[in-house]
A and B are shown apart, each in its own frame.
Chain A
Amino acid sequence: MSNLSAVEPPDNPARSNETGHQDHNLLELRGIRAAYERIDVLFGVDLVVPEASVVALLGPNGAGKTTTLRVAAGLHVPSAGDVLIAGRRVNGAKPEELARHGLCMIPEGRGIFPNLTVRENLRMMTYVGRSLAEIEEIAYSRFPRLAERRTQTAGTLSGGEQQMLAMARGMATEPALLILDELSMGLAPIIVAELYEMVAQVARSGVSILVVEQFASTVLGVADYAAIMVHGRIERAGRPDELAADLSKAYLGG
């Protein structure tokens, strides 16, 4: 397994210019180390999300994928390394401030209010300074099925619809950078495929996406670049077709 520490595609325009500043990388992690209490989980992660592209972060359970996303979203302060968003070092920035500016993270487990209706869940997103009507327009235009369920409590929606609602809440903020953690968790493959079709649509509108996924084959169909993470390190990175062969090694060892 070759050791390529960063997603930095050779034919991508998103490369360092002469000064080393990554002008076209919306998100860049440099040498990120992170720990929970005294237990180290990330050991120098380098990862790049170029503008208007989908980057998939793959790997087995416990590899540190979710921690990497949490660091990127400002929810976990790294013990070393730099988090750069749009070329600016943002270590220590408040996650709510990053969210307000356009970084949206949809966590594992959906992050919706199960006792509220679809409409009320969307109403909770008016904190971004948009009216409910605007938010509903954004949400229902992307996820028409939610319009039919607007008065239904979120907890009674199907798993796929709940995930759609979570994504709709995220899209209501009109994010520039979307971070998705385990979109497929607990969903049937057909629903996962449908959701990733929506992710592809979102990506086509210019939103940069960093996605963690265990359904590797599905996400590789959507991703522009991918990285395989094992034991807190990026083991391999590149274009999806280059990585497909290494996936089983990463998951099963060897």
Chain B
Amino acid sequence: MIEGQERVQQFKQEIAEMRVRDPATGRDRMWLRVGVVLMIAGLIVAGLAYPMSHGTTNPLSQNDALALGLGGLTGAVVGSALFVRYSVAGFLRFWLARLSYEQQAQTDRLIESLKK
């Protein structure tokens, strides 16, 4: 049996080393995927709407195809916006982490040189 204080220290160490996935990261990834899907699906729908309208002389069907095409394009634009938003956020987060690491390293070097 481990003694109380020793057990607490072990617990603290294990918790410090534990890998914790931030739920916010999962949400970002989900929106990124939604963006990609919307972008691709929107373009496909818009692409299919063209032969659909071209292949008929019925103005009602042409209107439907037009609406479908516009909807597809809107979806593609929204999807692109989501994709850019969440991929840039990920990149900037990484950049910020790198900047703060470099700044810390630079501060350490400065302190070292001042000590000499």
Residues of A whose CB lies within 8 Å of any CB of B are 26, 51-52, 77, 85-93, 97-98, 101-102, 137-138, 174, 176-177, 205-208
Contact = CB atoms under 8 A, between A and B. Distances in A.
A16 to B, nearest CB: 17
Interface residues of B, number: 18
Nearest to B16: A88
A138 B7 CA distance: 15
Contacts, number: 61
A163 B8 CA distance: 25
A85 B14 CA distance: 11
A138 B1 contact: yes
Contact of B7 (A91, A93, A174): A174
Interface in B4-20: 4-5, 7-8, 10-12, 14-16, 18, 20
A90 B23 contact: no
Contacts of B5: 206
B3 A86 contact: no
Given A101-B18, A206-B4, A91 B11 contact: no
B60 interface: no
Given A101-B14, A138-B1, A174-B2, A51 B22 contact: no
Contacts of A206: 3-5, 7-8
Say whether chain A's binding surface is mostly helix, strand, loop, or mixed.
loop
B18 A91 contact: no
B1 A177 contact: no
8 contacts: A52-B4, A87-B12, A92-B21, A93-B20, A101-B14, A138-B1, A174-B7, A206-B7
Contacts of A77: 23
Top 3 A-B residue pairs of the complex, sorted by shortest distance between their CB atoms: A206-B4, A176-B11, A86-B12
Contacts of A52: 4, 8
Contact of B8 (A26, A92, A98): A26
B18 A93 contact: yes
Given A207-B7, A208-B8, 9 more contacts: A26-B11, A52-B4, A86-B11, A87-B12, A89-B20, A91-B23, A93-B18, A101-B15, A102-B7
